[in-house]
Amino acid sequence: MSNSNTEHSKKLRAKTAAAHIKKNLALGLIRRMMIQAPTPVADEFDTICKELELSRPKALEYLCKFYRDHNN
């Protein structure tokens, strides 16, 4: 097993990621959003994310850009 797959390494990466997110939240570079939607809509969104091979945040960004590009 390589060092990058040890429990210690996994915990260290998680801790580093959490610190990075906390810093970006404090700087106002990112913000959290909790969205509640009917199950069929949420399922459709996840299906689209998978088809586009995008994370949810990237898919939301894509949707916003698509809307702006097609409503001017």
H, E, C per residue of 2-71: CHHHCHHHHHHHHHHHHHHHHHHHHHCCCCCCCCCCCHHHHHHHHHHHHHHCCCHHHHHHHHHHHHHHHC
- What digits encode the pLDDT tens for the residues 39-72? 999 999 999 999 999 999 999 999 999 999 999 7
- Per residue in 16-36, pLDDT tens? 999 999 999 999 999 999 999
The predicted model gives 2-13 an average pLDDT of: 87
Please check the confidence at residue 1 and state whether its pLDDT lies above 60.
no
**Gyration radius of the chain over CA positions:** 17
Phi and psi at residue 64, to the nearest 5°: -65, -45
Assessment of whether the complete model's pTM goes beyond 0.75: no
For 51, the token pair is 């088809």
Domain edges within the chain: 1-32, 33-72
CA distance 28 to 18: 15
pLDDT of 2 over the 80 cut: no
